[in-house]
Structure 1
């Protein structure tokens, strides 16, 4: 059984892309694709998400919500759920990470970490 301090064998990977056509110097837009793979032996349902987003200027945004892209998917053993979304930040590079709240068939909940990733514009020089 999974306790509140351990997470199931559910793995999250992220691919992120800057969207220059949708960005301005004051508002950088990034698309990201999330892949959630269930390597455990039981079905998990994604109930909620928590994101911590920080831009280069230190502005922090916290996002909490039910499910992802309007769904609370059930991911069977060996199953994969993929979705895409987008985020905007004022100053780059930014970073983003968080966790999903998952629930098994018996109602036990666990947090599955979302590995932090960087929101950066390719080829942009960063001032220190």
Structure 2
């Protein structure tokens, strides 16, 4: 199957960063690659900025429209935020059968590390809606002291 990548309206690097997380729901694969943005972060002000690139790979027989997103963002200090909204990056993209949709977004944290997880509600061409899982991914900056037990 030939794969064509379509991209959301945002700036993207040509390659995914090295750390990748992957989750399959039915015939849809979601890959996430987080990247710490040191140049936009300021640890002395408790400002830690992350970009994450998401790929939604549609291996199903039907085109899928991303209708909604849900994110749960937790930092290492126990602060949890939930984000719900229509589509992704300001649009409700159609991911055609056999194609991949890629976009990059960002998340600010007030702690040096955290994690994100979520889901997308998609609708297929027959009108059926279902949720696809976004894998839990870590946001570990170089400013966090990791301790072994």
Matched, 1:17 2:35: yes
1:25-44 matches, within 5 Å, as 25=43, 26-44=46-64
Please say if residues 112 and 143 of structure 2, whose CA atoms lie closer than 8 Å, have aligned partners that are also in contact: no
Displaced runs of 4+ in structure 1, greater than 3 A? none
Distance (whole Å) between structure 1 residues aligned to residue 142 and residue 76 of structure 2: 15
Check conservation: 2:113, 2:144, Cα contact below 8 A: no
Moved more, 115-124 or 93-102: 115-124
Match of 1:51 in 2: 71
Tell me how large the CA RMSD over aligned residues is: 1.5
Matches within 5 A, 1:1-128: 7-25=25-43, 26-122=46-142, 124-126=144-146
Hey, what's the Cα distance between the residues in 2 that align with 1:124 and 1:63? 25
TM-score, normalised via structure 1 length: 0.90
Q: Distance in 2 between matches of 1:23 and 1:107?
A: 42
Q: Secondary structure at the match of 2:39?
A: helix
CA distance in 1, matches of 2:79, 2:143: 23
Distance across 1 between alignment mates of 2:26 and 2:64? 9
TM-score by length of 2: 0.77
The 10-residue stretch of structure 1 (102-111 or 47-56) with the greater mean CA deviation from structure 2: 102-111
Q: Tell me, which stretches of 5 or more residues in structure 1 are unaligned?
A: 1-6
Q: Which runs of 5+ in 2 are unaligned?
A: 1-24
